[in-house]
Chain A
Amino acid sequence: MEVKVMKNIMHANERLAYENRELFKQNHITVFNIMASPGAGKTSVILKIIEALKEVTAIGVIEGDIASSIDAEKIEKAGIPVVQINTSGGCHLDANMIKLAAQDLKLKKNSLLFIENVGNLVCPSAFDLGENIKMVIASVPEGHDKPHKYISMFEAADVVVLNKTDLLPYIDFDKDSFYKGIRLLNENVPVFEISCRTQDGIKALISWIEDRMFK
């Protein structure tokens, strides 16, 4: 006898992600899931956003790493509430981790929450955390072929940031190929070219984020 099941294999995570999403929505918290390879600039981008918006709105950060609190310490130094998750080998964050971290963080209503995922262009895209926006950060030194190789990540992105544009004169980075790879997977995704080091392009990214805050 055939029995229809029609259940997502990631059912348990999906359910927790849904609950997270509802909680964030009720409290008017705009949540970003920031994903990238190690070293692409996740923490740097968050720090730039904090610098621009901390007088405008309350901000909270959840840091995800296999080990250490290096990134959380940087956020703390910037005067922003932060919780560090250490996954002890886990290569991505999941909805349950975020549920628990958000409780520790005591998020304010009408605020921004940035979740810095574990450095990894593969696994995080498969785990809904309850976020509003998936931000994928690529960087110039990684090369222009990342959207061609990591198709799930770039297909899932709600916004793509290309960081370290100050290094373009020194690296063989084919922008056409980079954009082509993105557009095939994600036709209309906004792409922001920035340099955290020189401040180039940061204003436009901040503006885009402000437009998406819960009003």
Chain B
Amino acid sequence: MHEYSVTKNIIDICIEEAKKSEAKIIKEITLVIGELSYFADESVLMYFNLLGEGTILENAALVFKKQPIELQCKVCGQKFHKQGNIFECTKCKGPGVITGNSGNEFYIESMEIE
């Protein structure tokens, strides 16, 4: 969803952070993306390659750390991740509920710079 503006945001934030660290090149950017954050990797990669041309992150690799939704079983308390669209507990088949803010992660974790 909105991969163009999301990619532009990523690039702007990384270039600003790189200036603070006096980086000459950004080699790698690690993104943490929760399962509830709609995000099409391939579209982001495409825009990244286009928008990054001629900048210090021109050849940077994008690493997507996907965070699954964490669920907790209402019956036995087991914490688990959903299997496809099934929210049933992997231990006892009881109903699971989403824990905390799990699945909403959407941030730049770190960069590898030179």
A residues apposed to B, CB below 8 Å: 1-12, 122-123, 126, 148, 151-152, 155, 180, 183-187
A5–B38 touching, CB < 8 Å: no
- The chain A residue sitting closest to B74, CB to CB, is A187
Would you call B103 an interface residue if the criterion is a C-beta within 8 Å of the partner chain's C-beta atoms? Answer: yes
Given the interface pairs A122-B38, A152-B38, A184-B87, the reply to whether A5 lies near B95 with Cβ below 8 Å is no
Which A-B residue pairs are the 9 nearest by beta carbons? A5-B108, A184-B87, A152-B36, A187-B97, A8-B107, A3-B111, A3-B21, A7-B108, A9-B106
A184–B96 touching, CB < 8 Å: yes
Q: Which residues of B contact A9 (CB under 8 A)?
A: 6, 9-10, 13, 31, 106-108
B residues apposed to A, CB below 8 Å: 1-2, 6, 9-10, 13-14, 17-18, 21, 23, 31, 36-38, 85, 87, 95-98, 103-104, 106-114
- The chain A residue sitting closest to B107, CB to CB, is A8
Other A-B pairs, 9, CB within 8 Å; known A6-B109, A185-B98: A2-B113, A3-B17, A3-B23, A9-B6, A9-B107, A122-B38, A123-B2, A155-B36, A155-B104
Alpha-carbon distance between A185 and B96 when the two chains are bound, in angstroms: 9
- The chain A residue sitting closest to B20, CB to CB, is A3
Alpha-carbon distance between A153 and B107 when the two chains are bound, in angstroms: 19
- The chain A residue sitting closest to B29, CB to CB, is A5
B85–A152 touching, CB < 8 Å: no
Q: Which residues of A contact B38 (CB under 8 A)?
A: 122-123, 126, 152
- The chain B residue sitting closest to A153, CB to CB, is B36
A7–B2 touching, CB < 8 Å: no
